Chains A and B, each alone.
Chain A
Amino acid sequence: MIPQPSRALADLAGKLVNDIAPETSSTYAAANTGMIAMLLGALAQDAERAVASRMDDIDEMQRLFTTLGRDCDPDNAEARTRYVGRQPASLRLGDVDALHQDGMALLIAVHAWAEDHDPDLDRSIWRLLHRHTERNRLDLG
């Protein structure tokens, strides 16, 4: 069998909601069962896409940083140049997350700079954040 974590987690969430929660004997247990089912549903969505969505973010940040001159947020210009050339140590989520977080820290700094100096760049970063947020959106019904 090829494991399909997303499907398994979604099925377990359904089992909790439909079969187990109605059998619980207290409102406290039923409420917690519902919340755990919701979390399983979120895990089901993210298990499938987590690496891909972070890699898409990394790719977008690297492309954006490539377009920026050294006079843009000059304190971080060298760090941005180094970031553009980096790849995650592996495709394990922890390694991808580490590179993603480094990029987000640089993005926050350049966004703060853009608010004061470059309205077009400010708008571009808001659009990037919009796409980032949509990639990670949880649809839980």
Chain B
Amino acid sequence: MHPALAPLGERFVAYLSDRWQEPLTLTGIEQIPGGASRETYRVRVDGPGGSRGLILRRDPVSSLIDTERALEYRTYQAVHGTAIPVPEPLILEEDPSHLDRPFSVMREIAGCESAVAALAQPPFDGLRERIGERKWSLLGQLAAMDPGQLGVTGFMDVPDHPARRELDYWAGVIDADALHPQPVAQAAIRWLRRHLPAPSARRCLVHGDYRSGNFLFDAEGEIRGVLDWEMAHVGDPLEDLAWSLDPLWGWPERTLAGGLLPREQAIAIWQRASGIEVDREAFRWWQVFASLKGLAIWISSTEDFVNGQSKEPILAVAGWVMTDRQNRILLDRLDPASTHDYAEPLL
């Protein structure tokens, strides 16, 4: 346990002991890297019921993604217990007095890996195709679920035109946060407005950030937890599929979506699991939108890093390195003379 984290751990355990009315002791706390939208800690406590692993997610001083913690927590509650594995949500604490900022607590899913790079080594080598199959099967199953039956329509809007709503929102983020002119992003926004698809008949719970790195897999090739639901919303099923296939998630590998499977294979798995046939014309729109949304997030993180209180390196990496890559992907997708050096042609 790093000594600098012990005071936070002790305050957290005091809170838990009071809340759960049982004597608990802190046996470990470590910060998990990559928590761009929340500070994330793995905490271990001992008590009368034995040892427990918990995940503490505390609001940061500044965030990569501006999200509502309550919406995310309620989404975990709605999805937990369905076919989509997620960590069990235990506590949402919005009173900042306990740990300086609001936080949530989940039960830890132990013994798993999230980085696709781990698939190159034992014990995960040989699992690439199996995990890819599970990844897009689960996403298809999510798309097949009725958001009303899931209960999320009680706290999420159901848009009349999901594509228009998402475009308006993310174009607004770029307008608000760009620190200098963004010619590729603006060209993409104009393209998306000109080619706006008709609203699809289907609505589903959209995860909003379903990509390699945001799920936990084990050594048997099973996905044990889908994480980071902070951008979840009700929308078009094609949105998550297109986002999951964006070339950025497998960078610099272009042919394997998310570093796992060829794109057409991933789509076929998703179609079987969802029972939805992909409308290819609409899907072209969602692929361009996915790259624009990514660019909007990176542009926003630049603004956060420059003007915000947090100087987390991940904000600067997103703001500079990811912006560079996403610009190249978008340009590859829209330039009429593209040689597709960074992104395969739109499907």
Contact residues of A with B, CB < 8 Å?
25-28, 30-32, 35-36, 38-39, 42, 97, 101, 104-105, 107-108, 111-112, 115, 122-123, 126-127, 129-130, 132-133, 136-138, 140
Contact = CB atoms under 8 A, between A and B. Distances in A.
B5 to A, nearest CB: 9
Contacts of A127: 335, 337
Nearest to B324: A138
9 contacts: A26-B31, A28-B33, A36-B313, A38-B321, A39-B320, A112-B186, A126-B334, A130-B331, A138-B324
A101 B30 contact: no
A28 B181 contact: no
A138 B298 CA distance: 15
Nearest to B319: A39
Nearest to A122: B336
B317 A35 contact: yes
A31 to B, nearest CB: 3
B187 interface: yes
A115 B190 contact: yes
Contacts of A108: 181, 183, 186-187
Given A36-B313, A129-B184, A133-B327, A138 B321 contact: yes
A28 B334 CA distance: 38
Interface string B307-344: 00000111011001100100110010011111000000
B324 A111 contact: no
B317 A39 contact: yes
Contacts of A35: 313-314, 316-317
Contacts of B316: 35, 39
Interface of B is mostly: helix
Contacts, number: 85
Contacts of A111: 183, 186-187
B33 A133 contact: no
A35 B321 CA distance: 10
A25 B53 CA distance: 20
A126 B336 contact: yes
Contacts of A104: 180-181, 183
Nearest to A132: B183
Contacts of A133: 184, 324, 327-328, 331
Contacts of A138: 320-321, 324
Given A107-B183, A129-B331, A31 B321 contact: no
A138 B321 CA distance: 7
Nearest to B328: A133
Interface string B1-32: 01000000000000000000000000000111
A43 B334 CA distance: 28
B148 interface: no
B34 interface: yes
A47 to B, nearest CB: 13
Given A28-B30, A101-B181, A129-B184, A38 B317 contact: yes
Nearest to A126: B335
Contacts of A28: 30-33
Given A35-B314, A112-B190, A138-B321, A105 B33 contact: no
